Structure 1
Amino acid sequence: MSYYADIAISILILMTLGVSLNLLLGYAGRVSMAHAIFFGIGGFTAARLTLPTVEELGGVATAGLQTGFSWHWVPALLVAVVVAAVAALVISIPAVRLVRGEYLILLTLAFQLVANQLMGVLDKVTGGPYGLSGIPPIQLGSTPLILPEQFIWVMLAAAVVAIVICWGLGESPFGRLLKGIREHESAVASVGKNPVVPELLAFSISAAIAGGVGALAAFYYGSVVPSNYSLTYSIFIVSVVVLGGIGNLSGTVVGAIALGLLEPFLREYVGDEAIPWQTVIYGAALVVMMRLRPEGLLPEGFGPGRLLNWRGRKAPKVVPTEEEALARLSQDAPEVVTEGEAEPIVQVLDLKKSFGGLKAVAGATFELERGKVTALIGPNGAGKTTIFNMICGTLRADEGRVFLRGEDVTGKPAYQLVRKGLARSFQDVRVCQRLTALNNVALGVQNQPGERVSRLVLRPFATRTAEKRVRQKALDCLALLGIADRAHLRVSELSYGDQKLVAIARLLATDCDVLLLDEPTSGVDPASVEKVIDGIARLRTLGHTVCLVEHSVHFVQRLADRAVFLDQGAVIAQGTVDELMNRRELAELYFGT
């Protein structure tokens, strides 16, 4: 019985580590190759705090039995969690701000290797290559939990707590924000969300759980050894997540059981050659999975909720009409400007930008009138998108200023501009393909309590109520654009034209006064162009100021109240579309081509 309980404990440890890593890898999309180190940091911290003091050992630290502070296991466990979280925060700050993709893998890999080496050489802290031993077990009352049959319940409870925490965060608005960052960080920033803080929290929470598990493992095994926290074990944890399914906690549970049973199964039938065979088998399994089923055994979104068709995958019970959606959205919309009352809301003054010897923008100056649709037009290479990016804070101008309601907002990051009332879309859409249309639009809603971990923990019922309002608003935005009946579908299942509408609906959900649209009909089939035109017309109906970059003359004629003509990075004409079209020199530059 003890043998099987010990195997179950090992699987539960692996399961908890895998679930915590999946919060970072699956939901936030950030790969860490150092998860075993945070596991070890928790173990060494708990060991040092709970080991007996020198005085308790009679003034002598005997060989193989190091000294500590003789803490109770509960505060030691809590400190281990905090220390692991802080260690993750230290490494994640440069990771989040400076590196991405394969460079993040290399950074965490370097941290894993360096930290593991330090564990082996810092004798006074870690006990050197032989580690620390004699760690007191967990004691409940007067009963020490030494036997596997006793400790398995502690580890089971810890695994359940970890799964509940990761599931609660991952399936909350905070998790939705992490998924948005995973797919398009720039798109998340473009709807007013600072991607840095959620990423840092994902790193820290993931490591904190690993540190807590490390402390529990130290109490159970009675020792901590640096070799147990090697790169091999970090890769093993990643394998559990990848095999089970990235972004699916149920898959991680399945992956941990499958890989956790592999070694005892091989020991039973292969004997002493079990360890090398184990490495070969799970390596081969990963290769096969990557070829045949790269999404893992249980892909993201697959599980009990998918089978029951709930949590955002089911169609809305009541689809609001366009009139109902318009009535609700009008409450938060800008005041509609009557004819003759338009005033500048955005002023662009003498913007300049050069790329080496190429002068992309040479002193562009124009205004966006409140409540109007303004089009930036001109031939290819005129500098339209460059100006657009400088207005939105994506690109820093060499010279010139941008004012929003008289406030200088030049060079401010996109998420700060949204909070001041200016948001943008992208030519390449940048919607989150693995999220539903409803969840894509919900990302744009501002001031969501559920996006803050503290509010999720301290006020869960209030955040749940707020989430209902967020989802209703997102549904209204989709309804206004005529696609509320597809709210439950993943964006990858929608046509490209409908994806453009989802992007516009996400902008509408921000409640920004000024909306900048970058080629909203680019790549859209003719039938869907009319839908996009109708959608943008509704933005004007609500009183939003719209600026768009567009090549389609038909589109500009249908929508724009005025146009700004650009050539070689300079504004050469402004006025109504008809006025500009009647000027022969402009027609030769653009309209006649």
Structure 2
Amino acid sequence: MEYILHILVMASLYVILATSFNLLIGFAGLFALSHAAFYGLGAYVTAILTTSLGMPFPIPLIAGVAFVAAVGVLVALPAIRVSGEYLVIISLALQIIVVEVILNWRGLTGGGDGIAGIPNITIFGGRLSSPGTFLPLAVAFAAGCFWIAWRLAHSPFGRALRAMRENASAAQACGKDLVYMKLTVFAFAAGLASIAGGLYAHYFNYVGPDGFTIDETIYILAMVILGGTGNLWGSVVGALVLVGLPEALKFINMPVDIADKARLVIYGALLILILRIRPEGILPEPQSRSVTATATAGGSQGKAQETLLKAEGSADAQPILEGRGLHKSFGGITAVSGFDIVMRRGQVTGLIGPNGAGKTTAFNLLTGFLKPDEGEIRYKDKSIAGLKPHQIVGAGVARSFQDLRLFTKMTVLENVVVALPRQSGDNVFKAYFAPRQVAREERENAERAMEVLRFVGLEDKADERAENLSYAEEKLLVVARLLATGAEVLLFDEPLSGLDGNALQEIFPVIRRLAEEGKTICIIEHNLDVIKTLCDTVYFLDEGHTMAVGSPDELMNDPELAERYFK
């Protein structure tokens, strides 16, 4: 019986590790191989504080969380600029460094001998010195850590994490602060892993470097993948399977000389079979309906739409966004040179020119995705040059991308909701300590998002994943998501490319009405019919500078431009 209780204690610790690791990999899309380092640091902080300073439980555990969360933030700093294989290398380096420090700082960590004599936890005078007495505490902590991870993952902040996982630049274009998000999720994942380390130290009364190597990180990663990334319940299942299955196989009677190897073969075959049948994991990421369920067809229709569509002031054609003398070079290649543009309220401005003329670079400069080498960008006569993309969205300038960059694994409604500005649930503190406010705003935001979908004609697709839409519907969703930001200036990068005539007739009125309601619109487009139908003013770019400015008819009747581009 003690043996089974011990297995359950270990399963509880691994539930904490797997769920916290899933926050990084499954929800944030940050593939870091340093989780065993966080686990080990939590164990060593507890061991050192209890054996050297005599601190009683839970002070060492709390100190471990604070210290390891800070280490997690330090690991996240490189993740601000790198991702993919580069983040793997950086986190793997941390994993190796932590183990090497433990091995070589013998005066503090005991080196290869580790630290022994860690006292048992004492609660209300009772010592938790056996699996049976320790199990309730382990289960309680596993449940508590699971709740913390669940609360984070299923808040508006968690929705923003999934958007960042799908496409980081698109999340920025929705007004999300990626630096804050990455630092926060790393801190949470590391802090939760340290709790498992602290409990491990108290349970075994000993910590040593062998238990926190890269092999341990891979073991935890296997739990996340087997259970299902993006599903915290999957992490629980993955932990239970990988901890319990090898032990269960020991009850199969086999000849002594082949028993160990045969059990390993069976164990590996079962895991391969499970992943073969369920490649996305035992419990794959669910399609969220929590937001969709709160949206109803009645109530605020009309009022919400008016709030979303109406720009500040009237459609008086006054200058709203201006770029002056913009210059951008990449090495020896000049992408934009001396570019000037003025976008006016209530008007549609076109940006045309041959491929490679610098149109998308101009958009990137105006929206903060690139910093100009020279020049000035002013929004309502205030400089916004140097602001981050999410800050520019917050100020009132938002953009789409030529390659759409939808959040394909999220529903249509979630794609719109995630772009709504000023969500209190994006703040982690409020997600935990102001749940009623967050829940109320979620209902309101669902209604606002449904109004946006009604405006573009996608309300009947609210529950569909974005990956299941037709190409024309994807284009409409791009418009909806951009509109949801609440920005006054909307920059569309080829919003109508690849559409047939019927689809164009669906989207033309949407863009035109936005301008009529006072929005400032700018579109990059190669389709001259679109330019003639929609645009009030057109800028012709070639080789990074403006060759001509005027109405569509004026530019199309210019002999030089007609020769260079229109024929």
Same fold (TM over 0.5): yes
Aligned to 2:170, which of 182, 187, 199?
Answer: 187
Q: Who is 2:94 aligned against?
A: 111
Question: How many pairs does the alignment contain?
Answer: 565
> CA 1:284/1:91 → structure 2, altered by over 3 Å: closer, same or farther?
farther
Aligned residue identity for 2:87 = L
Q: Please say if residues 246 and 267 of structure 2, whose CA atoms lie closer than 8 Å, have aligned partners that are also in contact.
A: no
Q: What is the TM-score of this pair, normalised by structure 2? A: 0.94
Deviations 1:386-406 (A, max 9, x none): 222222222233332222222
Pairwise CA distance, 1:556: 1.4
Indicate yes or no: 2:266 matched with 1:295: no
Q: Who is 1:518 aligned against?
A: 493
Aligned to 1:88, which of 48, 62, 72?
Answer: 72
Q: Who is 1:491 aligned against?
A: 466
| Mapping of residues 86-235 of structure 1, within 5 Å | 86-94=70-78, 96-235=79-218
Q: Who is 1:243 aligned against?
A: 226
Deviations 1:158-201 (A, max 9, x none): 11111111111101101001111111111111122210111111
Pairwise CA distance, 1:380: 2.5
Unaligned runs of 5+ in 1: 52-67
**In the aligned structure 2, how far is the partner of 1:108 from the partner of 1:180?**
22
Q: Who is 1:374 aligned against?
A: 349
Indicate yes or no: 2:388 matched with 1:405: no
Deviations 1:526-579 (A, max 9, x none): 432222222212321331100110011111122111111222222222222122
Aligned residue identity for 1:399 = E
Q: Who is 2:33 aligned against?
A: 33
> SS of the counterpart of 1:363?
strand
Aligned to 1:326, which of 305, 312, 317?
Answer: 305
Aligned to 1:75, which of 59, 62, 67?
Answer: 59
- Name the % identity: 38
Q: Who is 1:389 aligned against?
A: 364
> CA 1:325/1:464 → structure 2, altered by over 3 Å: closer, same or farther?
closer
**In the aligned structure 1, how far is the partner of 2:502 from the partner of 2:350?**
22
**In the aligned structure 2, how far is the partner of 1:292 from the partner of 1:525?**
40
**In the aligned structure 1, how far is the partner of 2:468 from the partner of 2:129?**
53
| Mapping of residues 461-480 of structure 1, within 5 Å | 461-480=436-455
Aligned residue identity for 1:92 = A
Once structures 1 and 2 are overlaid, which stretch shifts more, 192-201 or 348-357? 348-357
Once structures 1 and 2 are overlaid, which stretch shifts more, 318-327 or 121-130? 318-327
Aligned residue identity for 1:194 = D
Unaligned runs of 5+ in 2: none
> CA 1:490/1:284 → structure 2, altered by over 3 Å: closer, same or farther?
same
Q: Who is 1:59 aligned against?
A: none
Aligned residue identity for 2:145 = A
Once structures 1 and 2 are overlaid, which stretch shifts more, 420-429 or 286-295? 286-295
Q: What is the TM-score of this pair, normalised by structure 1? A: 0.90
Deviations 1:40-93 (A, max 9, x none): 111111122222xxxxxxxxxxxxxxxx11111111221111111112112221
Once structures 1 and 2 are overlaid, which stretch shifts more, 198-207 or 114-123? 114-123
> SS of the counterpart of 1:362?
strand
Pairwise CA distance, 1:520: 0.4
> CA 1:103/1:549 → structure 2, altered by over 3 Å: closer, same or farther?
same
Deviations 1:274-301 (A, max 9, x none): 7777776666666666666432121101
> CA 1:98/1:321 → structure 2, altered by over 3 Å: closer, same or farther?
closer
Aligned residue identity for 1:362 = S
**In the aligned structure 2, how far is the partner of 1:387 from the partner of 1:334?**
25
> SS of the counterpart of 1:210?
helix
Q: Please say if residues 314 and 488 of structure 1, whose CA atoms lie closer than 8 Å, have aligned partners that are also in contact.
A: no
Q: Please say if residues 322 and 480 of structure 1, whose CA atoms lie closer than 8 Å, have aligned partners that are also in contact.
A: no
